Structure formats: C-alpha cells, structure tokens
Amino acid sequence: MVKIINTSGKRKTAIARATFQTGKGVVRINSVPLDTYGTELMRMKVSEPLILIPRAIEDIDVSIHVVGGGTIGQAEAVRTALARGILKWHNDPKIKDIYLAYDRTLLVNDSRQKESKKPHGRGARDKFQKSYR
C-alpha cells in the first residue's frame, strides 16, 4: 500500500506544497533535487528538519512545489512544509518536541507580512520631503 501525505508551508508571499510518499529518500523542490537546489544558504535552510532527525526520510520520496515570494521566503516555506510532513508521517511526539525546541517556525507559519504603503510617501514609513518654497 502506498502511503501519501500532503502538507504546506508559508512565509511572506511564498507558498510551498509538499507530497510525501513511500520511496527511496529523494527530496525534490520544483523538480530539482535538494543537492542542486538554489544557493548553499537555501540548501542549509531547507535541510534543517532533515539534520535534526537524521533518518527521517530514508524510505520517503518528497516532492515540493513552491511559488511566490523571494528565494529565502521560499526556502523557509519549504522547510516548514518538510518538517510538518515528517512529523505527520512518523506521528511521533518526540519529533515535535525536537523541532519546537530548535525553532518554532519549523512547524508554525511565520505570520509577519510587509507593511502596506501609505499615500504620503514612497513606502510604509517614508514620507515625501516637506518644502515651504
């Protein structure tokens, strides 16, 4: 029987959707293997859940599709989706404790968003310069 689990993760405007199924331990992000995905910093961010639980995906194939946002936002969305999937797959409270002790955003979406622009300036807080002449 093939076991399939779907999870998701968000960060700013980036959304990652992950599909876990029995396999050989391959992680693909947008059809690219984790070994060659993005920069080294992005790979380190994404692999944090795998480093904390070393044998977590030995018999699992993970396919992650991520859209929106920037590179680091996407990496953080992917790591959340990956950690949630590992937790759901193994259903072990020890894993949850390890992830929460390390970083809460592994399991909980970071709700912070960009502050919206105001009408009297170029950005959220910036104001146009005042001139009397």
Task: Encode pLDDT of 68-115 as tens digits.
Answer: 999 999 999 999 999 999 999 999 999 999 999 999 999 999 889 889
3-state secondary structure of 26: coil
Confidence band (pLDDT; 50, 70, 90) for 44? very high
The dihedrals phi and psi of 66, each to the nearest 5 degrees, come to -125, 135
Residue of 45, 50, 49 lying closest to 70 (CA atoms):
45
Residue of 27, 13, 6 lying closest to 74 (CA atoms):
13
* Pairwise CA distance, residues 26 & 62, whole Å: 6
Query: Where exactly are the structural domains of the chain?
Result: 4-106
Structure confidence at residue 60 (pLDDT) = 93
CB 117 within 8 A of CB 125: no
Q: Does the domain at residues 4-106 carry the CATH identifier 3.30.230.10?
A: yes
pTM comes to: 0.88
% of the chain with per-residue pLDDT over 90: 89
